[in-house]
């Protein structure tokens, strides 16, 4: 019984189950494990931030730049860009890519596999940029480190690539959850911004990962409410027209941010040392007068909600921090933008609230309400992720009564940025000129399943020339395909239907019996039948990878290679265009209630 139990729960069986589109229990297990890994990593990252802050920051607070002397806080960005430049200067162009844009790129074009060197770069840049006083957050490092660690688990176990996609989403959600105690926002961000699709198969493992990661963070740091807000309400629906105006203004600011951040092509003509020095000088010069533009800025956002921030500081944060963040990204320093845009959005909203108080002194809701709404509007407009912005509003402020005006302002801001100015979402624009292949329904469907789920396993390998007895022996197992090995390694393998050889033997049975000397050798290249030229593909590959490989007109099919050592590799199956088309048409015709993946995309 013990032997049967062990044979049932084997890694090889686990891999085969994950290759299918309905491997929900197996993916949930991976979600739990990735939540533990990512939660532990985020605890370590936050611990390192705190440890670095104890060296020179007041009270060891990584956001207390206001407590530093002006000369010291102005010099910090110069030190930061120097340290980041020294590290990035030793990396290749590909090795400098980190953050959310890198996660989307690896998911889209590399099946969710992450280079280790970029992972270490993210640790260094994430810590130095926040502690060094640049306008940067810790959301990008949390997402990259979590997604890469979860995907690395899948790569270590040699899991199919369709499961790596889900692991990337698990790591993304878990990273956000552990960093900010926002598990729902983490899930929505992972599905809306990174995966760009909604499926039941994808949601459940991601929810588990986000939950477990958040629990680990709470065990380490206790339950933390990011902002202590109470007695905040809209009070009067007369504010709605002004909320629309606020959404329009923030949408235009968001478009300006995206345009400036995308100006990298023009700035790239300057040497890296000049670009980095400009960033250090601008941030340092601004920080001399307004240290609120440095770091993540959540302390400033909290004061904005309480209404204790001066107008000039609000203006510096709303415009200055926004422009400094965009300019930093445009100059090639890969800082996290999510925290800074939330803070800038809150300041911009507070300014609109103050103006509304002047225009409607008796009925205006006040700056605190508009600060919360502005925070969500800026995030939704820049990322073009309205649901993630609304969930962030809910979980960061714990004010569910703000959801109705929040939905209004987020939609207005998103439409303003997208339709009036033509600006796409910030991270979508990063990926190959805004073209994201996973937005295509066919590629989305094919990426959810790996080749073992649809390949034909019933095959035999044979030499090109065989005897009649060898031919009969090959057909004993009724193989669907005969894989013909050629005379030299540089010639591709060919596939012949087993039925074609069986038919030839049947038609020539009498001749073989009467004149055996004339049929001592059968050349499988000469018997009637269609022969398909084959190319290899890995057992872990998804159907989308197979689909792209078969775009080569010379190829008729792919043979699936199993094994990780060259001399021990074997052919596990054959996959044809027809097999891929049958899978897609079958799932496409299923009623939604019977669809195996329960897709909502």
pLDDT of residue 598: 40
pLDDT score for 585: 67
The pLDDT of 372-388, averaged and rounded, is 95
Q: What is the pLDDT of residue 446?
A: 81
What's the average model confidence in pLDDT over 69-74?
94
Q: Which residue do the tokens 């265009």 mark?
A: 577
Give pLDDT tens digits for 99-141. 998 999 898 888 889 999 999 999 999 999 999 999 999 889 9
Please give the CATH number for the structural domain made up of 237-439: 1.10.3080.10
Residue 555, C-beta contacts closer than 8 angstroms, at least 6 positions apart: 532, 533, 534, 535, 549
Is 135 within 8 Å of 519 (Cβ atoms)?
Answer: no
CATH number of the 11-221 domain: 1.10.3080.10
Weakest mean pLDDT among 328-332, 407-411, 589-593: 589-593
Q: Which residues contact 410 (CB under 8 A, 6 or more apart)?
A: 247, 376, 377, 380, 381, 386, 389, 390
pLDDT at 553: 64
Whole-number Å distance between alpha carbons of 384 and 430: 13
Judged against a pLDDT cut of 70, whether residue 429 lies above it is answered with no
Q: Is the predicted pLDDT of residue 430 greater than 60, yes or no?
A: no
Q: Which H or E element spans position 240?
A: helix 240-261
Write down the pLDDT at residue 331. Answer: 93
Mean local confidence (pLDDT), 13-24: 83
- 523 vs 526: CA distance, rounded Å: 6
- Strand 465-466 relative to strand 522-523, pairing: antiparallel
Lowest mean pLDDT among 219-223, 355-359, 512-516, 584-588: 584-588
Question: What fold does the segment set 450-589 form as a domain?
Answer: CBS-domain (3.10.580)
Q: What pLDDT score does 32 carry? A: 95
What is the predicted pLDDT for the residue at 230?
A: 65
pLDDT at residue 345 tops 90:
yes
pLDDT tens digits along 484-520:
887 776 778 889 999 999 999 998 888 888 887 777 8
pLDDT in tens, 293-325: 999 999 999 899 888 899 999 999 999 999 999
Residue 53 has pLDDT above 50, yes or no: yes
Comparing 594 with 261, which gets the higher pLDDT? 261
The answer to whether residues 495 and 479 touch, using CB atoms and an 8 Å cutoff, is no
Mean pLDDT of 330-350: 94
Judge whether residue 258 has pLDDT over 70: yes
Per-residue pLDDT at 215 exceeds 90 = yes
Whether 137 contacts 336, CB under 8 Å: yes
Which band of pLDDT confidence, cut at 50, 70 and 90, is reported for residue 177?
very high
pLDDT, position 600: 38
> How high does pLDDT run on average in the chain?
86
What's the whole-model pTM score?
A: 0.86
Compute the distance between CA of residue 326 and CA of residue 384 in angstroms, rounded to an integer: 16
Least confidently predicted of 117-126, 402-411, 509-518, 582-591 = 582-591
Query: Residues 298, 343: contact at Cβ < 8 Å?
Result: yes
Locate the domains of the chain by residue range.
Answer: 11-221, 237-439, 450-589
| 432-449 per-position pLDDT tens digit | 444 454 556 677 778 888
In which band, very low, low, confident or very high, does the pLDDT at 5 lie, cut at 50, 70 and 90? very low
First to last CA, the chain: 43
Question: How many residues belong to the chain?
Answer: 601
Identify the band that residue 564 occupies on the pLDDT scale cut at 50, 70 and 90. low
Whether 237-439 and 450-589 share one fold: the answer is: no
pLDDT at res. 436: 52
- Average confidence (pLDDT) over 178-189: 90
Confidence of residue 454 (pLDDT cuts 50, 70, 90): confident
The answer, yes or no, to whether residue 1 has pLDDT greater than 60, is no
Write out the H or E segment, with its range, that includes residue 574: strand 570-576
């Amino acid at each position: 019984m013990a032997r049967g139990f062990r044979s049932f729960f084997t890694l090889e069986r686990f891999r085969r189950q994950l290759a299918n589109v309905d491997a929900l229990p197996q993916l949930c297990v991976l979600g739990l494990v990735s939540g533990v890994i990512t939660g532990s990593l985020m605890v370590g990252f936050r611990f390192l931030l705190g440890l670095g802050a104890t060296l020179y920051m007041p009270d060891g607070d990584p956001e207390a730049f206001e407590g530093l002397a002006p000369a010291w806080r102005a010099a910090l960005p110069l030190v930061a860009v120097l340290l980041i430049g020294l590290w990035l200067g030793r990396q290749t162009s590909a090795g400098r890519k980190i953050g959310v844009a890198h996660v989307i790129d690896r998911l889209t074009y590399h099946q969710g596999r992450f280079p280790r060197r970029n992972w270490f770069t993210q640790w260094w840049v994430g810590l130095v940029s926040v502690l060094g006083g640049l306008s940067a957050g810790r959301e990008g490092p949390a997402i990259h480190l979590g997604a890469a660690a979860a995907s690395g688990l899948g790569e270590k176990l040699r899991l199919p690539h369709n499961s790596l996609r889900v692991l990337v989403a698990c790591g993304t959600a878990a990273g956000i959850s552990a960093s900010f105690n926002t598990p729902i926002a983490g899930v929505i961000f992972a599905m809306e911004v990174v995966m760009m699709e909604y499926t039941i198969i994808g949601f459940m493992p991601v929810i588990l990962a986000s939950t477990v990661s958040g629990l680990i963070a709470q065990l380490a740091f206790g339950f933390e409410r990011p902002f202590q807000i109470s007695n905040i309400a809209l009070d009067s629906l007369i504010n709605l027209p002004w909320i629309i105006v606020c959404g329009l203004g923030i949408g235009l600011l968001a478009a300006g941010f995206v345009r400036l951040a995308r100006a990298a092509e023009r700035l790239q003509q300057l040497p890296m040392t000049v670009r980095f020095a400009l960033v250090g000088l601008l941030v340092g010069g601004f920080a001399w007068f307004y240290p609120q533009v440095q770091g993540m800025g959540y302390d400033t956002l909290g004061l904005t909600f309480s209404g204790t921030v001066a107008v000039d500081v609000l203006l510096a944060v709303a415009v200055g921090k926004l422009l400094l963040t965009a300019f930093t990204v445009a100059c090639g320093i890969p800082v996290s933008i999510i925290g800074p845009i939330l803070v800038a959005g809150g300041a911009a909203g507070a300014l609109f609230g103050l103006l509304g108080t002047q225009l409607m002194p008796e009925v205006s809701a006040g700056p605190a309400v508009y600060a919360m709404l502005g925070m969500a509007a800026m995030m939704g407009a820049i990322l073009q992720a309205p649901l993630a912005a609304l969930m962030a509003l809910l979980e960061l402020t714990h004010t569910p009564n703000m959801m109705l005006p929040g939905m209004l302002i987020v939609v207005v801001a998103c439409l303003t940025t997208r339709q009036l100015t033509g600006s796409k979402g910030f991270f979508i624009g990063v990926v190959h000129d805004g073209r994201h292949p996973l937005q295509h329904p066919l590629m989305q469907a094919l990426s959810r399943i790996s080749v073992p789920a649809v390949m034909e396993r019933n095959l035999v390998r044979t030499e090109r020339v065989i005897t009649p007895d060898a031919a009969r022996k090959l057909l004993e197992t009724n193989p669907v395909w005969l894989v013909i090995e050629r005379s030299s390694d540089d010639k591709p393998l060919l596939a012949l239907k087993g039925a074609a050889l069986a038919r030839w033997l049947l038609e020539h049975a009498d001749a073989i019996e009467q004149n055996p000397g004339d049929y001592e050798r059968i050349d499988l290249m000469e018997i009637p039948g269609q022969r398909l030229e084959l190319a290899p593909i890995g057992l872990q590959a998804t159907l989308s990878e197979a689909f792209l490989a078969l775009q080569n007109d010379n190829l008729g099919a792919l043979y699936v290679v199993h094994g990780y050592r060259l001399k021990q590799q074997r052919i596990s199956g054959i996959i044809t265009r027809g097999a891929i088309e049958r899978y897609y048409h079958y799932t496409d015709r299923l009623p939604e209630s019977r669809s195996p993946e329960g897709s909502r995309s």
